[in-house]
Amino acid sequence: MKILKGKRALVTGAASGIGRELALRLADQGMHLLLADRDEPGMAETARIAADAGVSIATQQYDASITESVSALARAAEHLPGGVDLLVNNAGIAYYGPTDRMSLEHFDRVISINMLSHIRLTQELLPMLLSRPDTHILNVCSIMGLVGLPKVCAYNAAKFGLVGYTESLRSEYGPQGLGVTALCPGLVRTNLFDTALSKTVQDHKNPPRWTTTTAEQVAKAAIKGIRRNRRVVVVEPIAKTLCVLKRFAPGLVDFALHIGRKRKEAKRLAYWAARQTPPPISNDEETREAA
């Protein structure tokens, strides 16, 4: 998609973070916007700032975890004058913590929002995008859609699935002129870490600042990727390094993750042994048993 000015983009997760920065940069490029998010005040603030670029802006509150809400968003996009030319699937949540202690409800929610909602929205809008010239789909994935990391299993699974879906769409419809890009940033300084689901407060950890990049840098790389119809856009030095190592030296990545295995195994067994040990009998219980 070389020409952005005068076209319309649908951006999900537009209330903050990467979604907001993408929306603002697209507006600066002259694109009209349909913003979607569950956070209506945050979305309204994005719309207010983007309006300074002189483009038309529509908003739609939706919940990515509810199929009917995703379908309603698709209908809203189809009923806009001129429809949409660029679909940006960005909405997402995270979970951090040991996978064995993660509830099925949390697992299902992460998969539903980070992968299934994007696939559903794309499937509903695909006929419209295919019927128009010079259209594009940008799926905001993650380096965790390319490299498996510990304590983010559900997030990894969702992003790996979204990368695979994106690659398949590109191979099928790219030759027909539809642009498809997987945006795979590393760790980004957004509120995703603060709002991440976790089992305990102790599981909540913000990464060191030097390992992260900004939403502005990600949005800048994304716009370039859309214009050049890039297959995959990896943002942030550590993410790029992990990607290269995974491709050319996967054994080295696996070795690094297994450092301290015996110590970690002992810690794991101690944790489960403690959970399986019956609680001590109180004095009252001993008295009742003696009676």
Distance CA(94)–CA(290), nearest Å, equals: 52
- Whether 37 shows a pLDDT value over 80: the answer reads yes
Please write the tens of the pLDDT for every residue from 151-202. 999 999 999 999 999 999 999 999 999 999 999 998 876 666 555 555 554 4
User: φ and ψ at 214, to 5 degrees?
Assistant: -100, 155
Identify the pLDDT of residue 91: 93
**Amino acid letter at 35?**
L
Q: Return the structure tokens found at 56.
A: 């038309």
Q: Mapped to the 3 state alphabet, what secondary structure does the chain carry?
A: CCCCCCCEEEEECCCCHHHHHHHHHHHHCCCEEEEEECCHHHHHHHHHHHHHHCCCEEEEECCCCCHHHHHHHHHHHHCCCCCCCEEEECCCCCECCCHHHCCHHHHHHHHHHHHHHHHHHHHHHHHHHHCCCCCEEEEECCHHHCCCCCCCHHHHHHHHHHHHHHHHHHHHHHHHCCEEEEEEECEECCCCCCCCECCCHHHCCCCCHHHEECHHHHHHHHHHHHHHCCCEEEECHHHHHHHHHHHHCHHHHHHHHCCCHHHHHHHHHHHHHHHHCCCCCCHHHHHHHHC
Specify whether the CB–CB gap between 19 and 13 falls below 8 A. Answer: yes
Identify the pLDDT of residue 253: 80
Q: By C-alpha distance, which of 94, 186, 189 is closest to 146?
A: 186
Q: Return the structure tokens found at 38.
A: 């569950």
User: What separation, in Å, do the N-terminal and C-terminal C-alpha atoms of the chain show?
Assistant: 83
* 287 — pLDDT class (breaks 50, 70, 90): very low
155 is catalytic: yes
Say what percent of the chain tops pLDDT 70.
87
Please write the tens of the pLDDT for every residue from 79-112. 998 899 999 999 999 888 899 989 999 999 999 9
Most confident residue range from 16-25, 185-194, 269-278: 16-25
User: Active-site residue among 155, 165, 173, 271?
Assistant: 155
pLDDT averaged over every residue in the chain: 89
pTM: predicted TM-score of the whole model, two decimal places: 0.86
Distance CA(130)–CA(173), nearest Å, equals: 8
Helices 104-111 and 153-173 sit at what angle, rounded to 10 degrees? 20
* 145 — pLDDT class (breaks 50, 70, 90): very high
Identify the pLDDT of residue 269: 82
Q: Which CATH class is domain 8-259?
A: alpha beta
Cβ-based neighbours of 146, under 8 Å, separated by 6 or more: 160, 163, 184, 232, 234, 242, 243, 246
> Residue 21: CA atoms inside 13 Å, Cβ hemisphere, count?
16
Distance CA(206)–CA(146), nearest Å, equals: 21
Long-range CB contacts (< 8 A, 24+ apart) of 271-276? none
- Whether 220 shows a pLDDT value over 70: the answer reads yes
